[in-house]
Each structure stands twice: as structure tokens, then as C-alpha cells.
Amino acid sequence: MNKETPLVYELSQEGKKGFSLPHSHFDSSDISKLVPESLMRDPEMDLPSVSEPELVRHYVNLSQKNFSVDTNFYPLGSCTMKYNPKINEDAARFDGFANIHPLQPEDSLQGIMKLLFDLESSLKEITGMDRFTLQPAAGAHGELCGMMLVKSYHEARGDMKRKNVLVPDSSHGTNPASAALFGFNVVEVKSDERGRVDLAHLKSLINDETACLMLTNPNTIGLFEDDIQQIQKAIHDVGGLLYYDGANMNALLGIARPGDMGFDIVHLNLHKTFSTPHGGGGPGAGPVGVKKHLIPYLPTPLVKEEKGVYSWDEDIPDSIGKLRAFLGNIGVLVRAYVYIAHLGREGLKQVSQDAIINANYLKKKIEEHFTVPFPGFCMHEFVAQAVKQNDLGVHATDIAKRLLDFGIHAPTIYFPLIVAEAMMIEPTETESKATLDQFVKVMLTIADEAVEFPERLHEAPFTLAISRPDEVKAARNPILTYKDYRASKDNNGSSSISTTGVPVHAG
Amino acid sequence: MNFPSELKYSKSHEWAKQDGDKIVVGITEYAQKELSDVVYVELPAEEQETQQSKAICIVESVKAAFDIYAPVSGTVVEFNKQLEADPGLINRDPYGEGWFFSVTPSNVSELDNLLSNKEYEQLLSQEAK
């Protein structure tokens, strides 16, 4: 199973096929007489010729190489790779959700519209916000939505000089990217020695040109921004808005609400906190919630309810417009709704409590061997550093790669950027003490290995089909199609494919 | 590590070299090492305005993407087109073939705000602590 799988093209043998068509009752015509030559494909399409069992085995073997939260522990910090309950999947496949069309008449869509309306009500209660749009397709899309709302809000007041968006130096990379994409000037705020926003530095940067501060709370180091009251006051005093990046909401469910902390805009990553599958690029959902003063600018349409009847509300004259077709990734919204409904208030609170306890347990257990830069309790995740190992020539990458040999997904490494040799570990609430203890055991084993044979760790992983893909070559000369691959083989006779081999995670 | 004495250094790890009436800019040996293998450079456009200590272009390595800050204010004269095809030049020859761009400075005295090689080395040893 851990051998390298050939490409389906490499299995191809002329004459083999996996289909048989019935005898045709019609006369066949020469296609070149029916279709102009300019529209004909030349050369002919190059498709592999394989039999049905060969094809099935090829893809089943590939699928078994998947690393997923259904197969292994996945402590990928910031990504909240919690187990996704299968009841979510059941509900998303109900006929009434899976086989409807958004252009059906409203009276035939009342079920899904009620679900969306109720999901919005739950998200409002969980975050302390006044209204939500469910359209954004992911966290970064939500951020872009947020930036559009910020601009509309200031400009509607005739305040045209608000060009600066502040982000902490520990922020998710999407924060400055979203602000810059929408044309704002990004201003970086330093972290203090406690790993939190440096309040004095923040105050020195804000003025009547401040549009917004984007903040993750708890922040990317897994620490609660305990100056949040002073931060929100400082921003609001200069007329700016406060944006909440909800990537770390898994620490706060039922415990604290961004709306009560003074945030004006909030995005949630339903695919993280509310247990919808992610990794590999989506689909996700990044609903955006706002306080009253921003409701007039929300994307259209919203769902409204009158006397138990639901309808689309498209009468939002100052709306920033549509962000996504219809109401977003409906299947993801259904799954999140089911998760919230089946856990309820108490269940959601326990989710966050358990996530926090699990992270603190791991932190305590490994902090003697891996440096933890900021003392005290963490929230749902923490950052450890491979500092002692670095002195032995072993880096966070080597530790991450070695974990794969033990069937554990690597933590997020080299992020946040302000922490050297960072490993960001987020166990989530769904892991048992036995799994956590196994992780600790493996981490301590690797710490020992770093002392005993540091050189060998540079070769890890030892048990996987692909060990250390050449990431530099893959980035400099990406081979993305079979055509490119064949051309590169013809050019240099070598058959090595550059692939990064590392699962991409959705932000 | 090598920090030539004829160059001036910024705290954000760029170097600047006076070459006639223009100033050539690149990143230091320390910076290229920290970045690890550079895989992509987004260079500034010719005639783009630069402002001292403001981000002007981006380098990407397999680890992350980083901003490069202009060590002086002025106008970009030329950028190193070779980097587009071979960004590894930055790692192999940071002070030579791996230069980024050159600038006509609007105020040459801004060079005095930058560090000497000795001061830059001192900064690095402080950062290491």
C-alpha cells in the first residue's frame, strides 16, 4: 500500500477498454462532414486504455493513501481538524436538501429556507451579532466581505479618508491579503512579550485614517487577547471598526462572544468550528455576522420570515451586492446546522471546554522537551518551538515529517511567523486521552531521536511512499499535467515527478 | 557570514550599494539563509516610486512569503530580470547576481539612516538573543 502508485496513463495498454456499447441501430456518419475542421481536436485526445478492474483498483488504492481525520490524529493548528459526525452527512443527503434547485418557487423551498433562517439565528446567539450573511464560501471570502462592509460603512457616513487596516504581526496571512486585495493600506501591529497585541504600539498607529482592526481571538499563538476591552475602546474612539477573524472560535463556544467584546464584524469558519469536512481546498463556508449599524450593507439576498412563511429578502438598497451564487455552499450550511442542533447550548460549551483542556494537557506534557515561548494557560491550541532540537541540527520540518511515520498528521509549522521553529498544535475536543497520550509518547520519542541520531531525522519519513519530495523543484518547475510530465521525461530521461506530497489545508 | 563593508544595511535585512547616481538593492546573506530556497520573486515595475522602509516587492520561499522593504526613497530604474527565470540566484549570490533592483534616490542622505556592516552584525547578534 505504501508503494508509489503508477499514473493511470502508465497502466494504459492499447486495445484495452473498460466499457462496451450496444450495437447501434443507426448508420454512422463521418464526423468530419458534420463538424468544421477548425472545431476538430487535433491531435486526438490522449486517454488511457485500461480495463474496468484495473481502473477500479487504481483509484481504490489511491483513495487508501488518503490521510484524513477519519483515519488518523490530525493536530493541524489553526485548522481545527475535528472529527465530522456522520449524522451531518446523513442530513445533507436528504432528498429535500440534496435534490432541490435554488430557482424553484419559494413555496417549494420552505424547508431549506427555514434551516438557513434557524442557522442564522443560532450563529447570532453564539457570537452575539445582530445579522449574518451565509454567502461567503470560506474564511478569506468572509474577510473580503468584511472589508467591503467596512468601506461601505465609512463611505456612507461621508468619511472618505479611512484607508488603513491594522493587523497584528501574528495574524493569519489572509488578513493582510484580504485588506490589500480590497485596496486598503495594511499596517502591522507588534506583539508584546506576552504574545498579545502591543497596546501602546496599537495606540501609536491609529487615527482618523483607521478603517478597521482585524483580530483573531484567541490569537494564533493560542492566547486570549485579554486587553480586548482597551483594544476595542481605542479603535472605536478613533472611529474605526473591529473585525473578528473566527478561525479560532472553537475556543469560545458558549463561553464568550465576540459581539460582547465589541467586535462589529465577525466571520466564522463553519468548516472548522462547526465540523464540516475540509482540507484539500473546500468546500467551506465563512458566514459573516454584523452589528446593527452594518446590516444595511450585507450581501443580498437574506432569508426573512413572516408568520411562519420564509422568503428571499432582496430589498437591500445599500447592499455590497452578491458574493456568491444564491446562498452559498448549501451542503456545508446544512451540516453545520445539524452539528449545532444536535449538540445544543450545553454541548457546544463542552466542545470548547474540552478543546481547551486537551490543548493544555498536551502543552504541559511536552513543554519540558519542546520550548513553549509564552507561559501560562493556552486556549484551544498552543505553539511549541523546536529550539533545543535546532541546536542539534533538527528542525521543525524534520519533526513534522517524522510524525508521519507514526501515523500522526504534522502540526502547522513555521507559523505564526513571529515564533522561530514554530509548531502549532491543536488537538481539538474530539480526541480521547489515549490518543493524546500516544501523541505525547511519539513526541518524546522524536525528542530522544533528535539527540541520538539527528542526521537520520533529515531523511524522515521512512515508511511512506514518498519521503522528502523536492519542494523547491516543485515550486520552481511545477509539473501539473501528464503532458508536461511526458515532455519533461522526453527532455531529460528522468521520470521523477515533483510533487509537494504535503496535504494542502483549507484556511 | 559575509557582510561586505562597502554596503549599507537595513534592519529588515536588505542591503544598498551606491553605484554612480543610482542605488542597487538586494537582500543579505542572513536573509537568504533565513528564507531558505527562494522559489519566486515579484519584482517592482520600472519607474515605480519607492519610499524608505515601505514594502516594495515580495519574495517567496518554500517556507513562506516575505515583503522586501525599500532601503531608500526614489524611483526604480531597473530590476533584475534574471531572477524571474532563476530565483535561486538570490541564495547563491546574494550580493552579486542576486541583486533585486536599482533606484534613483530622491534623497541620498537617507543612506545615513541605514546601518554599517558592523552595526548590522551587532543587530543580528542581539536578535539571536
B13-67: per-residue pLDDT in tens?
999 999 999 999 999 999 999 888 999 999 998 899 999 999 899 999 987 788 8
Residues in chain B within 8 Å Cβ distance of A471: 37, 62
Asked if residue A104 and residue A39 are part of one domain, the reply reads no
Q: How far apart are CA A433 and CA A375, in angstroms?
A: 23
Q: Is residue A458 part of a domain?
A: no
The per-residue pLDDT for A281 is 66
Q: pLDDT by residue (tens digit) across B79-108?
A: 999 999 999 999 999 999 999 999 999 999
Q: Does residue A74 fall inside a structural domain?
A: no
Using a CB-CB cut-off of 8 Å, the residues of chain A touching B40 are 475
| A282, A153: one domain | yes
Nearest to B63 among A173, A414, A476 (CB): A414
Query: Residue B125: which residues within 8 A CB-CB, separation 6 or more?
Result: none
A58: containing domain: 8-64
Indicate whether A50 and A166 sit together in one domain: no
**Statement to judge: residues A60 and A134 lie in one domain:** no
Instruction: Judge if A250 and A297 occupy the same domain.
Output: yes
Chain B 42-101, residues with CB within 8 Å of chain A CB atoms: 60, 62-65, 87-88
> Does residue A294 sit within a domain?
yes
ipTM value greater than 0.90: no
**B108 lies within 8 A of chain A by CB:** no
Task: Check pLDDT > 90 for residue A3.
Answer: no
- Cis status, amide bond into A218, omega within 30 of 0: yes
Q: Domain count of chain A?
A: 2
Q: Residue A255 falls within a domain, yes or no?
A: yes
The residue of chain A nearest to residue B86, with distances taken between CA atoms, is A476
For the domain bounded by B8-128, which CATH number is listed? 2.40.50.100
- Encode pLDDT of A88-107 as tens digits: 999 999 999 999 999 999 99
A129 and A187 part of one domain: yes
Mutate to test the interface with B, among A184, A471, A502 (most CBs of B within 10 A): A471
How far from chain centre, in Å, is Cα A426?
14
- Which of B12, B37, B91 to mutate against chain A (most A CBs within 10 Å)? B37
Q: Between chains, do A475 and B64 touch, taking CB under 8 Å as contact?
A: no
In a domain, A106, yes or no: yes
Percent of chain A residues past pLDDT 70, beyond the cut: 96
Whether residue A104 is found in the same domain as residue A30: no
Nearest neighbour of B39 by CB, restricted to A414, A415, A476: A476
Contacts of B64 in chain A (CB under 8 A): 414-415, 417
Q: Tell whether B128 is within 8 A of chain A (Cβ).
A: no
Whole-number pLDDT of residue A493: 52
Asked if B37 has any chain A CB less than 8 Å from its own CB, the reply is: yes
pLDDT value, residue A35: 92
The secondary structure of A117-174 as a DSSP string is HHHHHHHHHHHT-SEEE---SSHHHHHHHHHHHHHHHHHHTT-----EEEEETTS-TH
- Kindly state the cell numbers that stand for A340: 449545532
Which residues on chain B are in Cβ contact (under 8 Å) with A472? 37, 39, 62
Distance (Å, whole) CA A324 – CA A197:
34
| Residue A28 resides in a domain | yes
Tell me, what CATH number does A144's domain have?
Answer: 3.40.640.10
DSSP A371: B
A415 contacts on B by Cβ (under 8 Å):
64
Q: What angle do CA A370, A74, A337 make, to 5 degrees?
A: 130
- Which stretch of A19-23, A367-371, A405-409 has the lowest confidence by average pLDDT? A19-23
Mean pLDDT of chain A: 93
CB-closest option in A415, A417, A475 to B39? A475
Higher pLDDT, A19 or A219: A219
Do residue A133 and residue A171 come from a single domain? yes
pLDDT at A28: 86
Tell me the chain B residues in contact with residue A476 when contact means C-beta distances shorter than 8 Å.
Answer: 39, 87-88
Tell me which residue of A145, A351, A384 sits closest to A243, measured CA to CA.
Answer: A145
Helix axes A174-181, A139-156, angle to 10 degrees: 50
Q: Which residue among A173, A417, A472 sits closest to B37, beta carbon to beta carbon?
A: A472
Determine, for residues B87 and A476 on separate chains, whether the beta-carbon distance falls below 8 Å.
yes
Residues of chain B found within 8 Å of residue A193, distances taken between Cβ atoms = none
Identify which of A173, A417, A475 has the shortest CB distance to residue B62: A475
Mean pLDDT within A283-303: 97
Task: Specify the pTM.
Answer: 0.87
Comparing alpha-carbon positions, the chain A residue that sits nearest to B61 is A472
Cα dihedral sign for A191, A192, A195, A198?
negative
Option in B39, B64, B65 nearest A472 (CB): B39
User: Is the same domain home to A195 and A118?
Assistant: yes
Residue scoring higher pLDDT (A25 or A491): A25
Q: Are A52 and A122 contained in the same domain?
A: no
Note the pLDDT of residue A502: 41
Q: What is the pLDDT of residues A195-240, one digit of tens each?
A: 999 999 999 999 999 999 999 999 999 999 999 999 999 999 999 9
- Count other Cβ atoms within 10 Å, centred on residue A472: 18
CB contact under 8 A, A414 and B39: no
Say yes or no: A140 and A28 in one domain: no
Nearest CA in chain A to B66: A417
- Residues of chain A contacting residue B37, judged by C-beta atoms under 8 Å apart: 471-472
Q: Smallest CA–CA separation between B15 and chain A, in Å?
A: 22
Q: Beta-carbon neighbour count of residue A419 at 10 Å?
A: 23
